Structure 1
Amino acid sequence: MSEILTKSRARNIFYGGSLFFVVVFIGLVINSHRYVVNVSTAGMPLTPAVVLGKQVWERNSCINCHTLHGEGAYFAPELGNVMTRWGVLEDPQTAYEVLDGWMAAQPSGIEGRRQMPHFTITEEEMRGLAEFLRWADHTNTQGWPPTDAG
């Protein structure tokens, strides 16, 4: 047995196998990166307005109540497909107007219903938030959410 697997052969198998799997790992990382970039930006490019909307989303902690593509709290509706549900996905101006009107009406004051607080958001920030939600709605989520209602 000692003639078949010498120390140098064992070392070569170890280094060769390690090198092979490092190359496989790097290939998988590159493939995953390309896939994520193509899927997340295929529907709509990442613009400064989308970035501003994401900052508004984070600053107001919207994820503490809402979910976005299944991530977040389940206290309020899923917003990953809200622009599709409202029928304003392809028109930025209408998306802004509908979102602005809806946000201005909060809290709704309907008894027995969970109330969304009123946020002070500038027109530019509201346009950015609408663009961010449109961008999120364009993302290929591979069937998420499972229902149209979110």
Structure 2
Amino acid sequence: MAERLTKSATRNIFYGGSAFFFVIFVALTIHSHLYMTSTSAPTSAMTDSIVRGKHLWERHSCINCHSLLGEGAYFAPELGNVWRRYGGHEDREGARAAFAAWMASQPSGIPGRRQMPQFNLTEQEINDLADFLEFVSRINTQGWPPNEAG
């Protein structure tokens, strides 16, 4: 047996290793794709009101203060689980009424608290935003946020 690698042995190791790690890469990519499509919220459930709610979220730059599923600013509460906190999974209409009342009461004027601005949203816009937040609450976040308060 030779003490050093020959040119052909080196080439074979390079091509064999490249092929092996390419196969691993493709397998992990397929696994990630299948995992993400099977565990997250189905895109077929997207309605026009959810899309309009997402546009409201973006137009009013809610992400500048709030976080959504861990993304955004941490100045105000996480809103990925706000629908659950309002009890939307048990009482959908009650959660909608509580959410609308919360939006109408802003800014609350409580001294020492950060104040959310009043956006003067219409009833339709509040319903669209509620639909968007309800949709986000159905995404499998694997335990995020770590506490119920957001």
Correspondence 1:85-100 to 2 at 5 A: 85-89=85-89, 92-100=92-100
Counterpart amino acid of residue 48 in structure 1: D
In the alignment, residue 46 of structure 2 is paired with which amino acid? L
Instruction: In structure 2, list runs of 5 or more residues that go unmatched.
Output: none
The letter for the 1-side match of 2:83 is M
> Which residue does the alignment assign to 1:49?
49
Does 1:69 pair with 2:69?
A: yes
What RMSD, in angstroms, separates the aligned Cα atoms of the two structures? 2.3
1:104 aligns with 2:141: no
Q: 3-state DSSP class of the match of 2:45?
A: coil
The answer on whether the counterparts of 2:86 and 2:99 sit within 8 Å (CA) in structure 1 is: no
Instruction: Kindly report which structure 2 residues correspond to 1:1-150, keeping only aligned pairs within 5 A, or say none.
Output: 2=2, 5-41=5-41, 45-89=45-89, 92-150=92-150
8 Å Cα contact 1:82/1:133 also seen in 2:
yes
The Cα shift of 1:111 comes to 2.4
Segments of structure 1 that go 5 or more residues without pairing to the other structure are none
Aligned residues: 149
Contact 1:54 1:129 (C-alpha < 8 Å) held by counterparts: yes
TM-score norm. by structure 1 comes to 0.85
Percent sequence identity is 58
